[in-house]
Structure 1
């Protein structure tokens, strides 16, 4: 009787104890993280699909005119880009009433180090 009671208690305690950790493998052998990443990317693709479709339609409409613009203006724009070293030193382009487009250069600011030295003649270390 004691053996039966002890074996029953051991069986119940084994059933109540937590099972050993097992990897959550999917049907195709992918881990839970891989499946989560796949679901994330699938959802993202579904969300941006309409926007990509609209972009494709827009590009089919303006594509030919954009190609002709780049064929004509491409060399001139490349020449300007070669001459300008730092675009942050220029103001935004302006269109004048006669149709001319000008890009003004921003006024040069005095260097902070030069201004400090000029005031008292000493340099802070």
Structure 2
């Protein structure tokens, strides 16, 4: 069940955070508030952000629960596999030429190249030797 919720939850979380960030930019650039109190525009923005916070609250709570659930195992994985993954990342120039990783029944993980490079066969020179 959580696998069905995760992509939707993260999309909603990212959308909400993006909207909030974009809307907060003009507010940060406004002049200092006047002595007259908040304007209708200020009050409208407060109500908008309050509604957005209420709408996002279940998603944020689910994200916090999910992060608390997978956090320790993710930390352990990164501690053990981090150096090996960094070595692989240094060796691979373009990840787009590889398929998604595949887990075999015996637990091995393989990453296939999308278009295998053609095998080059050594050619014999005129004197019969093979250049490698």
| Range into which the TM-score falls when normalised by the shorter chain | 0.5 to 0.7
Per-residue deviation, 1:85? 1.9
The reply to whether residue 93 of structure 1 matches residue 116 of structure 2 is no
**Structure 1 stretches of 5 or more lacking a match?**
1-26, 110-125
Counterpart position of 1:82 = 90
Q: Normalising by structure 1, what TM-score?
A: 0.56
The reply to whether residue 105 of structure 1 matches residue 113 of structure 2 is yes
Aligned residue pairs, count: 83
What does 1:5-20 align with in structure 2 at a 5 Å threshold? none
Counterpart-to-counterpart distance in 2, 1:28 and 1:52: 35
1:34–1:72 CA distance, 2 compared to 1 (3 A): same
1:33–1:102 CA distance, 2 compared to 1 (3 A): same
Secondary structure of the 2:105 match is: coil
Supply the RMSD in Å over aligned alpha carbons: 2.3
Q: Decide which of 18, 25, 31 is 2:39's aligned counterpart.
A: 31
The reply to whether residue 55 of structure 1 matches residue 63 of structure 2 is yes
Q: Which has the larger radius of gyration?
A: 1
Q: Normalising by structure 2, what TM-score?
A: 0.53
Per-residue deviation, 1:29? 2.4
Counterpart-to-counterpart distance in 1, 2:77 and 2:54: 34
**Higher RCO, 1 or 2 (CA under 8 Å, sep at least 6)?**
2
